Structure 1
């Protein structure tokens, strides 16, 4: 293998592309020597630098630069700078010395053309190594126009005895460096010289991999140390979690069975209650319908035709009576006329006057009887009206009872809520006492739930208040009014009792005490109405009951048992509103009846008094005219009695009116006003009858006056026959009227009889209605009880639902769960559930995500463990490779070193005409400067911060890394460096540093020649290595190079003519005016042939 061509473009002073072609190899011909000459500063050494740079040199100092841009043509006054530099080495590989096995390091991706490149290198006869750099710092390596890595180039050159620190390119001043450098640096030079560089590259790569593996192993071990405790903790938590899940599963199953049992039990009772409610509601509706039917029949009877017919017959009867009275007036007139004539004729008969008086009295009695019959009908009407009003009041009281029941329902719900809160507080306190500790989070959640439930109830209360505020206030006002009425009523009862029990009158307190008691009780009711707190309401009611009962007892005497029973009855009526209302209605009806009766008596007595008064006046006139003396004593007594009775009735009316004014209820006033209106109507009717009777009386008076006048004047003519005829005609008419009146009275009697039957039926219906009302009330009470039971079961169900939700269970699941078998023992499941909960409390809360974290941590741990195993295997493999490479390196190095040592002595003697020179190995024992190095303070502090296990792992890895450093430093074995010893003839020198400059140059040339002879490189570039030699030594060097040219190709940059004479090709380098180097070539072999 040799260098065929060198192409330079943009490198340093070679701005344009330049090509240097070197002599080839014939079958039996030396490779020859190429000389490059030129003046100083023309750019000769840039040729050597370009070859070194293309071979992979990384040191800018060696390339005589400071930064990467310095190797790119930087421009001149006449030529601008370039953006890149490129150098290509064309190598002949006909001997197949260039082989490359491209292997990527661990973790690096393999290039797609690696296999193709290996095939090309194995079969290709021409190799092109190209290096290219850009001004932005980017660079690339090409092998036969394929991009490769620097490592690939280094491995390729190492196999062909090339290297960055090789002897292939020896620049200016580098000859003496072989002798002046340290033993360790000289060893690197000998590694390339002995041909072990390729193995050392592999060894260094393996050491890098090994070091990286140890570092990775340390990191993995540290991670494992970090993960292992967490993994153990997570393992324990996962085990607890599994145990907790088993317990929770068992708990869930038991809770479902337990709550399902309670759910079905409560729902069964609730369904039963609802069924009973449906039955009772249906029964209630049926009874209400029957009651309504009875009421309709009552109303129908009350509005029957008999009353209408009676009302229609009465005007007809009055009309007939009026006609009869008119006829009687005419008869009286005729009789008076006859009497006057008879009197004028002296035939006046006192007996006729007596009969006339009797006739008038009979007429008055008939009129009185008729008036009395009409008056009897009015109380019956009033009684019916009072009963209708009573029914209306009863209905309103029932509605009020329903409102009270709704209020009781609300109070019951609030009581149940308070009981629930109290029960929860008791449970919490019991749990705290049993456990001795409190779960704050659970209590906070429970408190929040209770607050939420309280807010819901408060909202429901607000809604209920909003809906029933008016009804509630109206209901309370009605209750207060009812109590006021009852107190007024009871006051009257107390007065009656005090009148009947005169002996205990002093023992009862007056009206003022009762009024104070009533005012106090009403104030308490008003305070209860304003109060919103249920507990406060209960307290106020209890205090009111206690105080009211005590004061009532203080107002009575305990001696009279009857009075005490009466007062107790009054208290019971006050407490029981329903009895109070019934008593109120009864009293109201009685008062109305009494009022109607008194009004009727007043009207009747007034009519009777007026009739008697008229009769008396008529009799007085007749007696006075006829000089007949009658006994008026009875009449006067009767008049006085009637007047007295009228006064008593008027006093009673005033008393009733006064009592009526004291009634506070508007409803009672309305009823009374309605009754009074009826009385006024009846009074108007009676007054009309009174007017008619007055007219009749006046007619009699006129008739009597006419008789008297006729008698007094004596001017009438007696015509008895004519008067009798007229009288007969009038009597016939009266008879007809009497028959009509009799018929009307018969009809009236029939209607009265029918009315009596209807009244009997009505009373029976009223009795049945009351019975049905009692049955309805009992049904309503039963309905209320069942509703209360249903409400209790609903409350239990709500509590159960809240408990189910608190246990995070599904109500739908509980509802759909089949009813479990009968549970043995009421406390078995609750005790078991509490036991399981206690086990859960002992286990404690575990994050459900711990299982996921455990899986992730376990996977990571297993992955790291597998990485550790892989790293251990890799380390073992690398250590074996390194050990094998160390053996190969040592064996090859020792063999080559021996040859180089012999050749060095031989060439030294040639160059110095004698003397002694040798090279020797410097082992580790000879250099112990860095042994027993003490750890720094920072390392001590770092170790102190680690745990014992971490220190153990770190120490083990550090020991191995130190071992790697030792291996890297010494390159295998115990070799530390190479020592050179040279003694020119006739001198005694201990070290090479004592030699002169020329002696050091000759010694270095001898060493280089020995290396080339022992292990030739494909080509060698010598840059003015003979600059320090005289002409004689230059001749000796030229002969040595000529002798070695059959083993390697020499490119010599020189000013020495001896070297130029040995060259087959001569290149001249000149510097142009634009600062660009220019090449000129001359092939000396062709010139010799021409000569």
Structure 2
């Protein structure tokens, strides 16, 4: 390896391009003061990667650019190119994974290194026509034992600096001469990477800590949503069973009432015909009793209808009371952890008072309904006794009448019984119609709460018939109230967000694991490089001492020592 040519353009005092060729082993540059002799040396130092502008008698990068003269304008950039003879192929460039040198072929007879500086202080480095990094230049020069310590370039006033160098500076020069600087570059680069990796690890850890509370919150929300889904599934099952049973009951009851109505009408016509044949006014007294019996039975039917309605209302009220009691019970408990709340804000306090007030009103309504049902039951018993008494009186009257009158009276009694039966059928049909409207509304409500899945009740198969309709209704009402309290809606967005945050946390955890492995790997690499530097430094010192002994040929002259002191 030999220096061949130095090309300078716009660097310091060299306004125009100049080419210096080094054909001989020793070359001297002579000239008067201010002619640029030192600038030639500084150009060499500059192109080899010198970073200290002060050592090149400047303050900023723009000070290295030609400023102009009376005859020449100032330049916008400075460029220095150095050419080395590489016929022996001693230049080597290690590929550390950087994209800048992946495709550089060093199988050249001549190696050219160019460095350019611009007015804004920006520098670029070019190796055989390809732009590279400063790091690549350092690696390349270290392969031929040329570094930035300056032992190979002695500028003005630097002889004393080299002679008066301390132990550390002398060691750096020796390492530079031994070609160990490339390892120092790698150690520094590894230490920088280690520092960046540790900073990245801290940032990842901070992101995970920031993400943890939100992740826990979303996890609880998803668990709550899963419970809501379970309640919705249970509600759908209860709805299908309830609606299936209700539809079967409505269809069956409709058919039974139609048959009963037709049967009563048919018999009623026959009785009317018989009464018309045996018409007689001798049974006025019996007719009066029959009319009384008719009135009593009408009242009795009305009482039964009212009682049935009150019992259904009582059942719904009891279901609402049970649900409201559960709501009041959990009013002062945290829905997340299940512990009692220390302080309750005004809104929660008002809500609790409203729930307790509504519960009190429901209990009062329950007591009122129970009292009313008991009253109606007692009145019904009295009406039954009165009806029974009237029947006995009618029977007694029938026995006292002549055979014809008895027969006529019998037909009229039967006619009254059939009329009462017909009225009862009409009342049942009205109740059935009302119940059917309620059924249709419940189907619509189920579709609104759960979706079209409710409509599959038509194909639902009842395996066990353990629950009554009232039990099913109470369970449905309780779950509906719980769903209303949960207020989760569809919950799709929460599940989606939980999935995204979980994936991000898993990604950060993987990043932490990878960064930990990288830190361990970098620490091991740094330790191996330092060990390699120490070994090669000691071997190099031994070789230098041997060379000095051969050079002076006078006793022992151990000029260098590998001591770290």
Say yes or no: does 1:889 pair with 2:499. no
Say yes or no: does 1:796 pair with 2:438. yes
Within 1, Cα distance between the matches of 2:321 and 2:230?
Answer: 29
Within 1, Cα distance between the matches of 2:435 and 2:483?
Answer: 32
SS in 1 for 2:29: strand
Task: Work out whether residues 61 and 121 of structure 2, in 8 Å CA contact, stay in contact via their aligned partners in 1.
Answer: yes
Q: What residue in structure 2 maps to residue 155 of structure 1?
A: 139
Say yes or no: does 1:196 pair with 2:180. yes
Q: What residue in structure 2 maps to residue 68 of structure 1?
A: 61
SS in 2 for 1:62: helix
Q: For the structure 1 residues 854 and 786, does the alpha-carbon distance in structure 2 shift closer, same or farther, using more than 3 Å as the test?
A: closer
Within 2, Cα distance between the matches of 1:869 and 1:918?
Answer: 50
Within 2, Cα distance between the matches of 1:824 and 1:783?
Answer: 29
Within 2, Cα distance between the matches of 1:421 and 1:828?
Answer: 14
Task: Work out whether residues 238 and 854 of structure 1, in 8 Å CA contact, stay in contact via their aligned partners in 2.
Answer: yes
Q: What residue in structure 2 maps to residue 217 of structure 1?
A: 201
Say yes or no: does 1:433 pair with 2:325. yes
Q: For the structure 1 residues 880 and 181, does the alpha-carbon distance in structure 2 shift closer, same or farther, using more than 3 Å as the test?
A: same
Q: What residue in structure 1 maps to residue 17 of structure 2?
A: 17
CA drift of 1:23 comes to 1.3
Q: For the structure 1 residues 811 and 908, does the alpha-carbon distance in structure 2 shift closer, same or farther, using more than 3 Å as the test?
A: closer
Q: What residue in structure 2 maps to residue 262 of structure 1?
A: 246
Task: Compare the two structures and name the one with the higher helix fraction.
Answer: 1
Say yes or no: does 1:852 pair with 2:466. no
Within 2, Cα distance between the matches of 1:842 and 1:788?
Answer: 36
Within 2, Cα distance between the matches of 1:68 and 1:790?
Answer: 100
Deviations 1:482-520 (A, max 9, x none): xxxxxxxxxxxxxxxxxxxxxxxxxxxxxxxxxxxxxxx
Deviations 1:284-328 (A, max 9, x none): xxxxxxxxxxxxxxxxxxxxxxxxxxxxxxxxxxxxxxxxxxxxx
CA drift of 1:64 comes to 1.5
CA drift of 1:436 comes to 2.2
Q: What residue in structure 1 maps to residue 81 of structure 2?
A: 88
Write the mapping of 1:916-1065 to structure 2, written as runs, cut at 5 A. Answer: 975=564
My pick for the range that moved more, 854-863 or 806-815, is 806-815
Deviations 1:875-897 (A, max 9, x none): 34333333332222112222333
Q: For the structure 1 residues 165 and 263, does the alpha-carbon distance in structure 2 shift closer, same or farther, using more than 3 Å as the test?
A: farther
CA drift of 1:150 comes to 1.0
Query: What is the aligned-residue RMSD (CA, Å)?
Result: 4.9
Task: Work out whether residues 158 and 197 of structure 1, in 8 Å CA contact, stay in contact via their aligned partners in 2.
Answer: yes
Task: Work out whether residues 239 and 454 of structure 2, in 8 Å CA contact, stay in contact via their aligned partners in 1.
Answer: no
Task: Work out whether residues 166 and 193 of structure 1, in 8 Å CA contact, stay in contact via their aligned partners in 2.
Answer: no
Say yes or no: does 1:874 pair with 2:518. yes
Paired residue for 1:127, among 98, 111, 123?
A: 111
Larger radius of gyration: 1
Within 1, Cα distance between the matches of 2:493 and 2:89?
Answer: 65
Return the TM-score normalized by structure 2. Answer: 0.63
CA drift of 1:101 comes to 1.9
Task: Work out whether residues 49 and 138 of structure 2, in 8 Å CA contact, stay in contact via their aligned partners in 1.
Answer: yes
Runs of at least 5 residues in structure 2 that lack an aligned partner in the other structure: 267-308, 332-346, 355-419
Q: What residue in structure 2 maps to residue 205 of structure 1?
A: 189
Within 2, Cα distance between the matches of 1:55 and 1:804?
Answer: 83
Q: For the structure 1 residues 432 and 828, does the alpha-carbon distance in structure 2 shift closer, same or farther, using more than 3 Å as the test?
A: closer
CA drift of 1:98 comes to 0.5
Within 1, Cα distance between the matches of 2:451 and 2:3?
Answer: 89
Task: Work out whether residues 537 and 562 of structure 2, in 8 Å CA contact, stay in contact via their aligned partners in 1.
Answer: no
Q: What residue in structure 2 maps to residue 829 of structure 1?
A: 472
Q: What residue in structure 2 maps to residue 688 of structure 1?
A: none
Deviations 1:29-85 (A, max 9, x none): xx2x11111111122111111111111112211222122211111212221112221
CA drift of 1:130 comes to 0.8
Q: For the structure 1 residues 856 and 224, does the alpha-carbon distance in structure 2 shift closer, same or farther, using more than 3 Å as the test?
A: same
Within 2, Cα distance between the matches of 1:138 and 1:169?
Answer: 24
Deviations 1:799-833 (A, max 9, x none): 52465356444486156444746733415535665
Say yes or no: does 1:79 pair with 2:72. yes
Within 2, Cα distance between the matches of 1:191 and 1:821?
Answer: 90
Q: What residue in structure 2 maps to residue 364 of structure 1?
A: none
CA drift of 1:786 comes to 7.5
Deviations 1:701-726 (A, max 9, x none): xxxxxxxxxxxxxxxxxxxxxxxxxx
Q: What residue in structure 1 maps to residue 161 of structure 2?
A: 177
Say yes or no: does 1:3 pair with 2:3. yes
Within 2, Cα distance between the matches of 1:12 and 1:206?
Answer: 36
Q: How many residues align?
A: 437
Task: Work out whether residues 232 and 450 of structure 2, in 8 Å CA contact, stay in contact via their aligned partners in 1.
Answer: no
Within 2, Cα distance between the matches of 1:180 and 1:424?
Answer: 104
Runs of at least 5 residues in structure 1 that lack an aligned partner in the other structure: 25-30, 284-415, 448-777, 911-915, 923-974, 977-1091
Say yes or no: does 1:168 pair with 2:161. no
Deviations 1:841-879 (A, max 9, x none): 999969554543443344334333433443344334333
Within 2, Cα distance between the matches of 1:144 and 1:83?
Answer: 23
Q: For the structure 1 residues 893 and 815, does the alpha-carbon distance in structure 2 shift closer, same or farther, using more than 3 Å as the test?
A: closer
SS in 1 for 2:236: helix
Q: For the structure 1 residues 784 and 115, does the alpha-carbon distance in structure 2 shift closer, same or farther, using more than 3 Å as the test?
A: same
Within 2, Cα distance between the matches of 1:854 and 1:822?
Answer: 39
Task: Work out whether residues 66 and 78 of structure 2, in 8 Å CA contact, stay in contact via their aligned partners in 1.
Answer: yes
Task: Work out whether residues 166 and 192 of structure 1, in 8 Å CA contact, stay in contact via their aligned partners in 2.
Answer: no
CA drift of 1:227 comes to 5.3
Q: For the structure 1 residues 792 and 59, does the alpha-carbon distance in structure 2 shift closer, same or farther, using more than 3 Å as the test?
A: same
SS in 1 for 2:234: helix
Within 2, Cα distance between the matches of 1:862 and 1:18?
Answer: 61
Task: Work out whether residues 263 and 800 of structure 1, in 8 Å CA contact, stay in contact via their aligned partners in 2.
Answer: no
Return the TM-score normalized by structure 1. Answer: 0.35
Within 1, Cα distance between the matches of 2:506 and 2:225?
Answer: 22
Deviations 1:877-934 (A, max 9, x none): 3333333322221122223335557888999999xxxxx9956567xxxxxxxxxxxx
Task: Work out whether residues 213 and 871 of structure 1, in 8 Å CA contact, stay in contact via their aligned partners in 2.
Answer: yes
Write the mapping of 1:576-615 to structure 2, written as runs, cut at 5 A. Answer: none
Within 1, Cα distance between the matches of 2:147 and 2:31?
Answer: 27
SS in 2 for 1:65: coil
Within 2, Cα distance between the matches of 1:432 and 1:841?
Answer: 12
SS in 1 for 2:56: coil
SS in 1 for 2:95: coil
SS in 2 for 1:131: strand
Say yes or no: does 1:45 pair with 2:38. yes
Task: Work out whether residues 85 and 134 of structure 1, in 8 Å CA contact, stay in contact via their aligned partners in 2.
Answer: yes
Within 2, Cα distance between the matches of 1:41 and 1:844?
Answer: 88
SS in 2 for 1:875: helix
CA drift of 1:430 comes to 4.7
Q: What residue in structure 2 maps to residue 142 of structure 1?
A: 126
Task: Work out whether residues 12 and 66 of structure 2, in 8 Å CA contact, stay in contact via their aligned partners in 1.
Answer: yes
Task: Work out whether residues 61 and 122 of structure 2, in 8 Å CA contact, stay in contact via their aligned partners in 1.
Answer: no
SS in 1 for 2:538: helix
Task: Work out whether residues 270 and 790 of structure 1, in 8 Å CA contact, stay in contact via their aligned partners in 2.
Answer: yes
CA drift of 1:6 comes to 0.5
Task: Work out whether residues 269 and 793 of structure 1, in 8 Å CA contact, stay in contact via their aligned partners in 2.
Answer: no
